[in-house]
Structure 1
Amino acid sequence: MPDPSYFLFQGVFLLPALFGVILLAALARGAARVLGVIGCVVLLVSRIGSAVWTFLIPRFQYEFGYSLATLVIPSVAFNLISAAGLTLVVCAVVAGRRPAPA
């Protein structure tokens, strides 16, 4: 069982994505809103999945005898999903910019 501070630490990483969903849904318009909300939701799902997976790794090692190298593969997948969410948030920022005056 992980230390309870682990869940507090994971919560610190979830809060910005959660606030991002709320703020983008309330303030942004058009494509920026859609891209930003989707990106923040992807980040939330990725962080929650990563936290749960990290919690389950010792159990899979002990009960099923999987090697740590095998168990790292889902962690890499969660990191790639997180990168995709961050890319969507950056695209939302670019889509929400007003064109420079000529």
Structure 2
Amino acid sequence: MSKKHTPGPWFQGAGECSAIVYDKRVWWHSDGSRGGETPNMRVCVESSNAVADAALIAAAPEMLALLKTARGEITEEAILTEIERIIQKAEGETQ
């Protein structure tokens, strides 16, 4: 049984971390107040590559959806095996 994730799309933003990923469009005003929608999900990214890492995380729901679509269209077994492995990892079935 696959685990459910917060539905996409996800958006890259900024805030109290080097980079943040939200499930809603959010922005910060110069006075420190937040604008946009109230997010249900927030991932704080702290690394030397935080902005690039946050961009990759934000793209995850769309990449997963594309892999699921590709799984039905690709016939080469080696590629299908890798697609299935990545989908299982994304859905928490493997590590």
TM-score range, shorter chain: 0.3 to 0.5
* Greater share of residues in helix: 1
Work out which of the two has the higher radius of gyration on C-alpha atoms and give 1 or 2: 1
Q: TM-score, normalised by structure 1?
A: 0.34
Considering fraction of residues, name the structure with more strand: 2
Higher RCO (CA-CA < 8 Å; seq separation 6+): 1
Relative to the length of structure 2, the TM-score reads: 0.36
